[in-house]
Amino acid sequence: MNHWIIALPRPDMEHCIRIGKFGKNSKGVMGKVKAGDKVACYVSGECKIIALGEATSDYYMDDSPVFKAEGVFPDRFDFSAKPVGKAREVDIKTMVDDLQFISNKLYWSVFFRTGIKQIPQPDWTFIEKRLSGK
């Protein structure tokens, strides 16, 4: 099982959560996603993790226009995620020092610019605990 952070602006992320699909133009990374993988939803611009869930399909290609953003984004996977609610959303800046996948803490934001990032299991566990308030 792999662990992923997907990143989009809030309106796009909330739409993707609602329709249960995430898409990019990036077969290289997206092609590694498998059903059962864990997914954390990161809102770019606000720097917050707003939902946790899991992939419900393997990677696939589809060019049907289902996303809010302009473009097709044919490289996709389906997922199910439950928003934690505004009061429990966590600012990623409060976690940077504790996340292994962010190797350069000074330039932490570059690690979220690709739209999808694989993260190690300990980072997933840390994020999961922070969102649960533990």
- The string of pLDDT tens digits covering residues 44-101 is 999 999 999 999 999 999 999 999 988 889 999 999 999 999 999 999 999 999 999 9
The tokens describing 35, both together, are: 């059903």
The tokens describing 62, both together, are: 């589809």
- CB-CB contact of 26 with 116 (8 Å): yes
- Is pTM, for the whole model, over 0.85? yes
For position 112, what pLDDT does the model report?
80
The tokens describing 43, both together, are: 């809102």
- Enumerate domains of the chain plus CATH numbers: 3-132 (3.10.590.10)
Residue 86: which residues within 8 A CB-CB, separation 6 or more? none
CA 75/CA 82 separation, integer angstroms: 22
| Residue 47: strand pairing partners | none
